Structure 1
Amino acid sequence: MGPGFDCLGIALDMWNIVSVEVGGRGFEIYGHGEDELPKDESNLVWSSIARVFDEAGISMPAMSLTCHNDIPTTRGLGSSSAALVGGLVAGNELCGNPFDRSELLQIAADTEGHPDNVTPALFGGMQIAVVQDKRVVSASVPVPEDLSAILYVPNTSMPTEEARGLLGDSVPRSDAVFNIGRAALLVRALATGDLEHLDIATDDLLHQPARQTIFFPMKNIIRAALGAGALGAFLSGAGSTVLAFATEKEFTIGYEMADAAVKSGLSGEVVITRPTGLGAHTLT
């Protein structure tokens, strides 16, 4: 989330559904990634279920999986974290829930490598996540109930590893100070509902400038969102999605973001959603 690189994340009302049938065989994927994602034991959902069985010391039975994916892949929207957490929660349910949510978080963060996406996927809401002595410490942040999220989701992907490869191992002190202040302001703004300075609070110098070099429409889309009435806007995750926050004019903001993208030679779609306090859960 903007200046909260690898530390702040938020759950949006976008869902992947994993269906498991014990005793069956087969793997089906519908929706996003249906033609690209593996349909075998290398799939992240499958391997996450297997990880829980392994951690619990229980033999994994034969099963069939069906995934309905509404979260776009390789667009900075946490699709891999959703798959990972969905698999862990499903596996935990199948094993009789031997692990609580905090234990599942440790498994998820160990697998993902950083906790900012898996934490909101597991707990819902906006989450602060840090690592101390190889353990994840998380805290939830309340957000205004009338807050909307307007997404411009490009047809162009931004693989996370490629996007991370653009970042250096060190940053200037002034850039670190810039982000620390804005990350604190962002948390305060959303927690209190005082959104006056959210445009400033969502600015960043640690990762967006580097990613701008391979995703040049980003600045134009952010500028268009703010100009149309968005309270704040930033690159979602590693991109390529741009996310804007607003409490009104959502359709106007989405239109202007799409128009700016087209003028920059980029096609895609607008998705209007909102934060959700609900994390991964089982359906009966």
Structure 2
Amino acid sequence: MSGAFRVTVPASTANLGPGFDAFGMALALYDVVEVQVTDEGLKVEVIDAGAGGVADVPTDESHLVVRAIRRTCAHLGVDPPGLHLRCYNAIPHARGLGSSAAAVVSGVAAGYALAGREIDEFDALQLAAGFEGHADNAAASLFGGLVLAWCEGTVFHAERLTPHAGIRPVVAVPAVRSATATTRGLLPATVPHRDAAHNAGRAALAVHALTAKPELLLAATEDRLHQLYRAPAYPASTALVDTLRAQGVAAAISGAGPTVLALTTTGILPPGAGVEGFDVCELPADLAGVQVAAQ
């Protein structure tokens, strides 16, 4: 790779209802990072290319993309003399669309490019998932498509599947933000056995529904493990999920919220869904994952 290249990384949605910390899917909304090797230390420019929100994004070594680049470069044994980064943020921050994972994945991909190496999928997943402690969003942004993620000890794994072509995801993004650390704090230490069993069955069904039989998605996306406990953090989003599901739409909270994910077959939400205060758009599944190209 030359001294200048562009990294394009998709957003992601996680959990998809019952698959807490296990299911992820890449969505066709992209952050772009342009990287140039220089001799003049570090320069980071952050540009809002959509609803990314850049006011509170650092432009020094604490920038998440920079941290991921540094960790990956150290892992690969390279040390660029200086870097100029131009980050075009389109993925909304703190909305449950994997903005942090996308930043990390773009940094990992950039590190491989700086080392002049093709991305090693297994090592890249360890590097990217290590930042958040779970691999659902990171694997989706890395590989594209639908991912099933798990961890054995400290080793992360993910299996990529292709979502059914008839599924047309729609997201409803509110203006309010949500912090993953905050919403995780709302989860109980234990859950009833019947709820755990319910989610195990629904998660198994969801794999079939997402890849082969979308007509089962309403039942397959039913969750008893995390959404109920997090509901007080975003009551408007929870109300929208309930309304959509009552209308037969397979809706769930996207990741840690507060964005609502609707897995439709039409690309639109039904009238009367009550989407006031939400930005609603269809976001097709991304099937390619992170991409690196020379400039």
TM-score by length of 2: 0.88
Partner of 2:293: 283
- Given the alignment of the two structures, is residue 157 of structure 1 paired with residue 177 of structure 2, yes or no? yes
- Alignment of 1:93 with 2:108, yes or no, is no
For the residue of structure 1 that corresponds to 2:73, the secondary structure is helix
Runs of 4+ aligned structure 1 residues displaced above 2 Å come to 223-230, 250-253
Looking at structure 1, the residues matched to 93 and 236 of structure 2 have their Cα atoms a distance apart, in angstroms, of 19
Counterpart-to-counterpart distance in 2, 1:61 and 1:34: 26
TM-aligned CA distance change 1:45 to 1:270, over 3 Å: same
How far 1:228 moved relative to its partner?
A: 5.1
1:145-182 per-position Cα deviation (integer Å, ceiling 9, x unaligned): 13211111000001111111101221111110011011
Check if 1:247 corresponds to 2:265.
yes
Identify which range, 77-86 or 220-229, moves more after superposition: 220-229
CA deviations 1:106-158 (Å, max 9, x no partner) are 11112221111101110110000100132122112221113211111000001
1:88 Cα shift? Answer: 0.4
- Counterpart check, 1:21 vs 2:36: yes
Matched to 1:117, the amino acid is N
Report the identity percentage.
36
Distance 1:63 1:138 in 2: 31
**After the TM superposition, which residues 198-217 of structure 1 pair with which residues of structure 2 at under 5 Å, given as runs?**
198-217=217-236
Unmatched tracts of structure 1, length 5 or more: none
CA distance in 2, matches of 1:276, 1:261: 25
Q: Distance in 2 between matches of 1:12 and 1:98?
A: 23
Amino acid at match of 1:135: V
5+ residue gaps, structure 2, are 1-15
Q: Is the 8 A contact 2:146 2:161 kept in 1?
A: yes
Offset at residue 196 of structure 1 (A):
2.1
The counterpart of 1:273, out of the listed 273, 276, 283, is 283
Report deviation, 1:99. 5.1
Instruction: Tell me the secondary structure at the aligned position of residue 30 of structure 1.
Output: strand
Q: Decide whether the 8 Å contact of 1:29 with 1:69 is kept in 2.
A: yes
Q: Is the 8 A contact 1:228 1:252 kept in 2?
A: no
Tell me the amino acid that sits aligned with residue 27 of structure 1: V
Partner of 1:9: helix, strand, or coil?
Answer: strand
Higher strand share: 2
TM value normalised by structure 1: 0.92
| Corresponding residue number in structure 1 for 2:8 | none
Tell me if 1:59 matches 2:79.
yes
The amino acid that maps onto 1:222 is V
Within-5 A mapping of 1:50-129: 50-97=70-117, 100-129=120-149
Distance 1:97 1:111 in 2: 21
| Greater mean deviation of Cα atoms: 177-186 or 219-228 | 219-228
**Deviation of residue 60 (structure 1)?**
2.8
Give the aligned partner of residue 225 of structure 1. 244
Q: Is the 8 A contact 2:80 2:114 kept in 1?
A: no
- For the residue of structure 2 that corresponds to 1:283, the secondary structure is strand
TM-align CA RMSD: 1.6
Corresponding residue number in structure 2 for 1:235:
253
Q: Which SS does the other structure have where 1:97 is aligned?
A: coil
Matches within 5 A, 1:30-69: 30-31=47-48, 32-69=52-89
2:201 aligned residue: 181
Aligned length: 274
SS at match of 2:47: strand
Aligned to 2:22: 7
Matches of 2:218 and 2:193, distance apart in 1:
22
Paired with 2:269 and 2:153, the residues of 1 have a C-alpha distance of: 46
